[in-house]
Each structure stands twice: as structure tokens, then as C-alpha cells.
Amino acid sequence: MNLRRQGSVVFIVTYISWAISIVVLSYWNTIRGLIRLATLDEYSYLLAVPIIIAYIGFKRISGLNMKLTISMQSIAFSLLLISISSYLYMMSWTSELTLEIQALSLILMFWAFTALILSFETLAKIKNIIILSLLIAPIPRVILDYMAASLSRIVAEVVAAITNAELIIGTSIMLKTLGPNGETIVFEIGPACSGIISLMGFVIGLPLILDYIHSAEVSRERKVLAATISSISLLILLFLGNIARIVLIILSGRIWGLDTAMTVFHTTPSIILTVITVI
């Protein structure tokens, strides 16, 4: 590495560190909101997203010849992103999606500072990282609730067919079966059992799969085919894994009772499935 390249790297690191500091200070309440949201099960994927972005970003940037430039075009583009970011931030206060819109504003503001010193050619080379950074914005709750409600019914119908449990659909979706002593046991298939939490593993796993496929030295057609098959396979694995988990809970309730089913077989398979998904 020559002195010029070393100087460029030092400047980029210093500048980006400064930009991150400015963005963090400006959006501190938004960041705190994202951290609190990430403590919820259905949004726990947000904890892994920054790590994945950093991992993939480091891999892409490390072998990239970064071209630094400050031109009228870069200044104009940066100001455009700042304007859009500021508009989104102001709009967030009158929207029901306050945190989601502020997160998008935060992302655009960071890339506005970055775009100020990078050429369009360099930005084009890291477009995948820019797109990936949008995952920091949480999925709106209304979408997650709709997906959870739809998945709950599908999961309950499949599990009922496999286990011969009675399906009860009312204000909530439940499966009724008999315990070891002939007592009636009722399991509610709520959002936590719908597979929506496991499905969020798709958000974590897909970028890693696509990055691995992108790095492979094969034709574009084979990359597209591999990406399609891998994405579908991941979704099917997550769905079947959750079905197997609920079936295990129902069967364990019949054999050992409700307490054993809910304490051992309800928690442990969830942890195992999550680990498998991330791997």
C-alpha cells in the first residue's frame, strides 16, 4: 500500500467516523428507540442487521479502489439526500410510523455525508451495501401483525391435520387435544407461534446467502438460479421448522402434559431453530 492510498484510507476512516458521530448525536432518540424495539422478539433481527452490514461492507470495501472526489455533482447529490432525509424526519412527527420513517431519515443522512466525498463510480460499486443498510429501518408493525395473523391460521390448519387436534377459530386461533390423563388441553396459536419470529431469520440469512453467491466465480445465470433456489429453500426450512416445533408441542402435551410442553418443548426448539437459521 503506497502513501497516497494510506492517506486516502486514513481520511476516509476519519471522515466516516466524524459523519457517524454527527448522525448519532442528531438521531440519538431514534437510535434509542431502535434499540428498545430490538428487545422485542419479533424485532430481534435488528440486533444482527448492523453486524451483517458491517461484515459484508468490510468484505466489499477492503478490495475496492475508493475514488475520493468533491465535485458540484457530489455536493448537489449530497444536498438532495439531506433534503429528503430532513423532509422524512419532519414528516415522521405526523405519521403513525414515526420510528420507521426516522430510521429511513437516519440512513439517508449517513449516506448523504458519505456521498459528499465519494465519486458516483464508487457509490455504484457499493450500491448493495447502500440497499442493505435499509434493513436498519424496522418493518412496520401493521405488516408484521397481518403476516402473523395469516401465518397463525395456516400453521394451525397444518398442525391440526398432522396431529388430529381440534381446530378452533374465533377471536383467537386454538388447537384442542387431550392430555395424558384425559384432560382437555388447549394451545393458542398466537403471533409468537405463527412463525413470524422465525421468519425474521430470513431477513438475517438472505443477505449472507446472496453475498456468498455474489462472491462465487460462476456465470450470472447460475448466480440468479442459486439465489432463487436458496431463498425459497430458506423460507421452506423456516416454515417447516416452525410446523415441526408446534407439532412437537402438541404431541408432548398429549404424552407429558401441558406444563412439560410449555416449559421444555415450547422454548428449546425455538432457540435451536433460531441458531440453525442464523448458521
Distance CA 103, CA 52 (A): 17
User: What does the pLDDT profile of the chain (279 residues) look like in tens digits?
Assistant: 443 455 566 666 777 777 778 888 889 999 999 999 988 878 888 888 888 888 888 877 776 666 667 778 888 888 999 999 999 999 999 888 999 999 999 999 988 888 888 777 777 778 888 888 888 999 898 888 888 888 888 888 888 899 888 888 877 888 888 888 888 888 888 776 767 777 777 777 778 777 777 777 777 778 788 878 888 887 888 888 888 888 888 888 888 887 777 765 555 555 555 555 555
Listing DSSP states for 220-257 in one string gives HHHHHHHHHHHHHHHHHHHHHHHHHHHHHHHHHHHHH-
SS3 of 272, please? helix
Residue 205 CA from chain centroid, whole number: 9
The answer to whether 92 and 102 have CB atoms below 8 angstroms apart is yes
Q: Residue 210 corresponds to which amino acid?
A: L
Give tens-digit pLDDT for 90-120.
999 988 899 999 999 999 998 888 888 877 7
- CA-based nearest residue to 80, from 112, 127, 119: 112
Distance CA 44, CA 32 (A): 14
Distance CA 112, CA 118 (A): 10
